[in-house]
Amino acid sequence: MQVTEINAQGLKREFQVLLAAQELEERLTNELSGMKDKVQLKGFRPGKVPVAHLRKVYGRSVMAEVVQNAVNEANRQIVTDNGLKLALEPQVEFPTDQAEVEKALDAKGDLAFKVALEVMPSFELADLSDVSLTKLVAKPSDAEVDEALDRMAGQSRPFTEREEGAEAQSGDRVTIDFVGRIDGEEFQGGKGEGIDLELGSGSFIPGFEDQLVGAKVGDKRLVKVTFPESYGAEHLAGKDAEFDVTVTKIQAAGEAKIDDEFAKSMGMESLEKLREAVSEAIGRDFEAASRRRLKKELLDALDGKYAFELPPSLVAQEFAAVWAQVEQDLKTRGKTFEDEDTTEEKAQAEYRKIAERRVRLGLVLAQVGESADIKVSDEEVNQALIARVRQFPGQEQQVWDFYRKNAQALAELRAPLFEEKVVDHVLGQVKLVEEPVSKEALFADEDDDDTTGGKPADKAEAKDESKTEAKAD
């Protein structure tokens, strides 16, 4: 086998591999000889089938295996001999001349094919000693703890049945049966019986609950609503619907006292202990928000430290993922690029920059992790898997089996663990300055992302800054 590099441009490499007819013949003969003791053919004793006969029967199929093995061998040789780190799997190009291929498959002619590669860029890790980052620190106030306790109490407050003939008021809990129709036809998911609904909670489609205020037990009402354009079920989004609703029960909300007894109902020994637990939970939320902001600031700093050529295919893959997210976001919100004060061409250029940033940061974090010999243990992956399983009550075994049987799915659990370890390592190399802030200041940017209906690009970047999954391990 002769391997010759025929092209090297940037991160792209191209090699030509030549398998002489004689080598093809030798490889084929060796494979067929190895089959003699395994193949049973009518008219021949085991192990006595002539190689020539085996070639007549199995020659083409065995030669196909020979060629595939040669391709795999060539790929390994190219990577090993040249010390390459591949960005993607090698792309193999066989001759287009069918007559040439036929001769090679019969071992009567040479077989030449090309192997195209994209390799990872080579770069030095930057000195981060001059990087200074600000970590925002917020502590839960008594008022925030009180607010959380009020929400908890509201969710567990008692309800008592209203007197006969009473009208439902906002804040009451009504029990209803309903059948929904669109254009006179019932639709999937539009029917329910014995459904509890707290009026004013905003649990149902906008406008639905308001039309039940004033209803009495036994009343039948026609409720007319329009599904939001952003509704999760695409076949219902933006559609006008009518619901035949029957009220079967009305209950008035009582008050839940926030005291030791309430704390015990929450599984705590006293109100003081409950307040401590709530404060700690809020504190963990604050710490998570602080971590997200700090990580973004760190990634911004890293992005400014590196400039190197990126593997085009990795960028293309990442761009495709970003673009799909953008198009889905626009579709869900019923918007166009014109609505976002841009054009599709300008948007693509913007999103391609995001894709390039993700790939660049992914490669940087991967190299940092490799240089620091950062590993993710099987136990850590198991803990992440257990956490994921708990997100699907009633389907635990199915989810567990899915991940255990799917190496790619497990890798997707491992990747963020690796990333967080690398981020921790890098944070240890920079100067951190803590800045006490309020809750409002801590969540200001996140609130903006959630409430302003910002451009899809902003959301895409905010949701997933680095996307190291494909490069980290």
Query: What are the pLDDT digits (tens) for 318-364?
Result: 999 999 999 988 887 778 899 889 999 999 999 999 999 999 999 99
Q: What is the mean pLDDT of residues 128-134?
A: 95
Confidence of residue 46 (pLDDT cuts 50, 70, 90): low
Confidence of residue 469 (pLDDT cuts 50, 70, 90): very low
Confidence of residue 74 (pLDDT cuts 50, 70, 90): very high
Structural contact between residues 87 and 120, judged by C-beta atoms closer than 8 angstroms: yes
Answer whether residue 468 shows pLDDT above 60: no
CA atoms of 433 and 153, how far apart (whole Å): 38
Determine the pLDDT at residue 398.
Answer: 92
CA atoms of 409 and 209, how far apart (whole Å): 41
Determine the pLDDT at residue 349.
Answer: 95
Confidence of residue 461 (pLDDT cuts 50, 70, 90): very low
Phi and psi angles of residue 267, each rounded to the nearest 5 degrees, phi first: 90, 15
Answer whether residue 169 shows pLDDT above 90: yes
Q: What is the mean pLDDT of residues 90-108?
A: 89
Confidence of residue 229 (pLDDT cuts 50, 70, 90): confident
Answer whether residue 385 shows pLDDT above 80: yes
Answer whether residue 448 shows pLDDT above 50: no
Residue % of the chain over a pLDDT of 90: 67
Determine the pLDDT at residue 47.
Answer: 63
- Give per-residue pLDDT as tens, 192-206: 999 999 998 888 999
Q: What is the mean pLDDT of residues 294-315?
A: 95
Determine the pLDDT at residue 295.
Answer: 96
Determine the pLDDT at residue 43.
Answer: 63
Structural contact between residues 104 and 19, judged by C-beta atoms closer than 8 angstroms: yes
Q: What is the pTM of this model?
A: 0.71
3-state secondary structure of 260: helix
Determine the pLDDT at residue 168.
Answer: 94
Residue 186 vs residues 180, 192, 222, 224: alpha-carbon distances, Å: 6, 12, 14, 14
Answer whether residue 449 shows pLDDT above 70: no
Angle, CA 106 vertex, CA 103 and CA 112 arms, to 5°: 50
Answer whether residue 465 shows pLDDT above 80: no
**Can you read off the two tokens belonging to residue 403?**
């991940």
Answer whether residue 453 shows pLDDT above 70: no
Which DSSP category does 124 fall into?
Answer: P
Confidence of residue 48 (pLDDT cuts 50, 70, 90): low
Answer whether residue 463 shows pLDDT above 60: no
Answer whether residue 415 shows pLDDT above 60: yes
Confidence of residue 388 (pLDDT cuts 50, 70, 90): very high
DSSP per residue, 21-68: HHHHHHHHHHHHHHHTTT---TTS-TT---HHHHHHHHHHHHHHHHHH
Residue % of the chain over a pLDDT of 70: 91
Determine the pLDDT at residue 460.
Answer: 45
Residue spans per domain, the chain: 2-118, 158-253, 271-463
3-state secondary structure of 141: coil
**Can you read off the two tokens belonging to residue 231?**
């509704």
**Can you read off the two tokens belonging to residue 375?**
């590993």
Answer whether residue 459 shows pLDDT above 60: no
Confidence of residue 380 (pLDDT cuts 50, 70, 90): very high
Rg of the chain over CA atoms, in angstroms?
Answer: 32
CA atoms of 105 and 24, how far apart (whole Å): 8
**What is the length of the chain?**
473
CATH (one of 3.30.565.10, 1.10.10.2840, 1.20.58.100, 3.10.50.40) for 158-253: 3.10.50.40
Mean residue pLDDT of the chain comes to 88
Query: Sign (positive/negative) of CA torsion 164, 167, 168, 172?
Result: negative
Q: Could you tell me which residue, 53 or 5, shows the higher pLDDT? A: 5
Determine the pLDDT at residue 322.
Answer: 95
* Amino acid present at 68: Q
Query: Which value, to the nearest 10 degrees, does the dihedral of the CA atoms of residues 276, 282, 287, 290 take?
Result: -150
CATH, range 2-118:
3.30.70.1050
Answer whether residue 472 shows pLDDT above 90: no
Domain 271-463 has CATH 1.10.540.10: no
**Cβ-proximal residues to 284 (8 Å cutoff; 6+ apart), any chain:** none
